[in-house]
Amino acid sequence: MKKSGRIKSSIYPRSRDAVGKALAPVTRPQRVADQVYRHLRRAIVGGKIAPGTRLREVEAAAALKVSRTPVREAISRLIGDWLVRELPTGGVEVLDIGDELTDIFHIREALEICAVRLAAMRITPEQVEELEYLIESAESSTFKERVRLNQRFHLAIAEASGSARLVEMISSFREYYLNPRWITRGDRKMVERAIHGHRQIVAALRSHSPDRSEKALRQHLKIGWISMTNDQDD
Amino acid sequence: MKKSGRIKSSIYPRSRDAVGKALAPVTRPQRVADQVYRHLRRAIVGGKIAPGTRLREVEAAAALKVSRTPVREAISRLIGDWLVRELPTGGVEVLDIGDELTDIFHIREALEICAVRLAAMRITPEQVEELEYLIESAESSTFKERVRLNQRFHLAIAEASGSARLVEMISSFREYYLNPRWITRGDRKMVERAIHGHRQIVAALRSHSPDRSEKALRQHLKIGWISMTNDQDD
DNA sequence: TGTTTGTATCCTGCATGCAGAATGCGGCAT
DNA sequence: ATGCCGCATTCTGCATGCAGGATACAAACA
């Protein structure tokens, strides 16, 4: 049974890489080291591990049921993220993000402004639509859902900047503020202003004006800043 | 020979922790993993390793005369720095910074502006002096020396921001531009403008005005940007 | 009782072992 | 000669071994 006739009328594609087109790459199991990294990262920014705590690799390895090697790799990355600090006597301790909250806010602001300016120059109509969709979805949502959508909105802008690196950086910095310790409920007026801010940003982006976009974003971020510095627990 | 008499006139201190006060902490040898990280990082940003090259841990380990473990840790950090990329089939390859040069420039600019604004609010008289000293030193220096002093000048501003994190970020991003591939000699007029720019920045910082400082820095960075986009090899 | 010194345990940092997957090459069939 | 397949080698990813230094505890001394 060599080529059993070339039946042109077949419903199946017969091109050179018919298989290649029909199949998507299998999802490869992600490395243990990466999972450990994410776990630890979440635990730290989420405040599950108290600042000043010594992060023991044996302990983490045991808790996560892995060997020390992937834990060490994860810790290396955490050092790069300034989430932990190498102790002079060896080992690492988790740093207190709270100490840097002001600095981090300014850095985040700078990065987001950078992103929105690039986005203004590069954004596509589809990306504008995505942003509008996110705004609309937020209108009729619970507070919690709204926080998530707000996050997605800002990350979508970062993506529109076209720099994967920037997306990564911004999303890392934003994560710091998802810690319940610093989330404030905010009153209705604040939420309204935030939504209005989102609209203004999209309008500016649509007009492809970096300056207008920056201004709109600045205005918008200021709200978050105010609510953060007020620091009203809920 | 217990206390052989308490000779008050001794020139030696006899307080409780006389030893503690006399001694400074010994300098601990830095971890091999950190050294490997620095080596690899330099090699990559310096262009010693061509973009797209697969970074083999065995190879690096052999070249640096260490085992694979510290190399793996170093590579983990490089992943975080976006200097290498994990291949879907395992291992990593070095990324091409050149592809991102524009984005990186904007990010760096954003970070430096952030730093100069914070610095304007927080800089001390001593730090102002340091900056002035660096400017003066640059006046009578060779080109190469001047590049180094320029680097130090900008890092000194970052330090004046008071955020160690920001210092780290900025210095990483600046390193990308030290690659000879992108350094342009620049004509005399450009150098003069750069020095003038430095003076203006310091003046603005001294007045503790974030806005003026930002403006001065923006103006200054633009020069570098122009010379970079002109891309004249020397 | 408070301090100090000796000692046992723990932990880190690096090296190496090992299984499984990817890569490259030679032989084979067409 | 060309294309394909199977096999050997290489490399990664994780686990573990091991030595040296840090930490903690307890006995001994003042």
pLDDT tier at A225 (50, 70, 90 boundaries)? low
**Nearest residue to B202 via CA among B146, B165, B156:** B156
Note whether A110 contacts B106, CB cutoff 8 Å: no
**Which range has the worst mean pLDDT, A70-79, A175-184, B151-160?**
A175-184
Q: Do B77 and A76 touch (CB under 8 A)?
A: yes
**Residues A123-139 pLDDT 10s:** 999 999 999 999 999 88
Least confident of A195-199, A200-204, B177-181, B182-186: B182-186
Share of chain B above pLDDT 70, in %: 84
Query: CA of A159 to nearest chain B CA: how many angstroms apart?
Result: 12
First-to-last alpha carbon distance for chain B, in angstroms, is 75
- What is the three-class DSSP state of B67? coil
In tens, the pLDDT along B208-218 reads: 999 999 999 99
pLDDT band at B202 (very low <50, low <70, confident <90, very high): very high
The model's confidence at residue B185, banded by pLDDT at 50, 70 and 90, is low
The closest alpha carbon to A150, from A164, A134, A162, A163, belongs to A134
More confident residue, B233 or B175: B175
CA of residue B204 relative to chain centroid, distance: 23
Return the pLDDT at B4: 41
| Residue B6 pLDDT exceeds 60 | no
Close Cβ partners of B6 (under 8 Å, ≥ 6 residues apart): B14
> Is A59 buried (19+), middle (13-18) or exposed (0-12) by CB count in 10 A?
exposed
Q: Which helix (H) or strand (E) holds A84?
A: strand A84-86
Q: What is the pLDDT of residue A3?
A: 38
In this prediction, residues B140-144 reach a mean pLDDT of 79
CB–CB contacts below 8 A, A to B:
82
Check residue B126 and give its pLDDT. 96
The answer to whether A25 contacts B80, with C-beta atoms less than 8 Å apart, is: no
Query: Near strand D (CB < 7 A), which residues?
Result: A 31-33, 66-70, 73, 87, 89-90; B 28, 54-59, 68-69, 72, 86, 90-92
Query: Taking 60 as the threshold, does the pLDDT of residue A17 lie above it?
Result: no
Q: How far apart are CA A157 and CA A172, in angstroms?
A: 15
Nearest-CA distance from A20 to chain B in Å? Answer: 17
Check residue B190 and give its pLDDT.
73
Between CA B205 and CA B208, with CA B206 as vertex, the angle to 5 degrees is 65
Residue nearest to nucleotide C16 (CA to C1'): B67
A82: left (phi over 0), alpha (psi -120 to 50) or beta: left
| Whether pTM exceeds 0.85 | yes
pLDDT at B183: 67
What are the CA-CA distances from residue A79 to residues A84, A152, A186 (Å)?
A: 5, 27, 34
In angstroms, the CA B218 to CA B204 distance is 12
**What integer best gives the mean pLDDT of chain A?**
85
B89 closest-nt by C1' vs CA = C22
**Mean pLDDT throughout A63-92?**
96
Q: Which residues of B touch A (CB under 8 A)?
A: 25, 28, 31, 33, 37, 69, 72-74, 76-77, 79-82, 86, 88, 100, 103-104, 106-107, 109-111, 113-114, 117-118, 161-166, 168-169
In this predicted structure, what is the pLDDT of residue B188? Answer: 66
Mean per-residue pLDDT, A24-37: 86
Mean model confidence pLDDT for chain B? 86
In this structure, are residues B181 and B45 in contact, taking their beta carbons and an 8 Å threshold?
no
A96-113: average pLDDT? 94
Given a contact cutoff of 8 angstroms between Cβ atoms, the answer to whether B95 and B50 are in contact is no
pLDDT band at A78; cut points 50, 70, 90: very high
Q: Stated in angstroms, how far is B155 CA from D13 C1'? A: 39
Residue B233 clears pLDDT 50, i.e. is over it: no
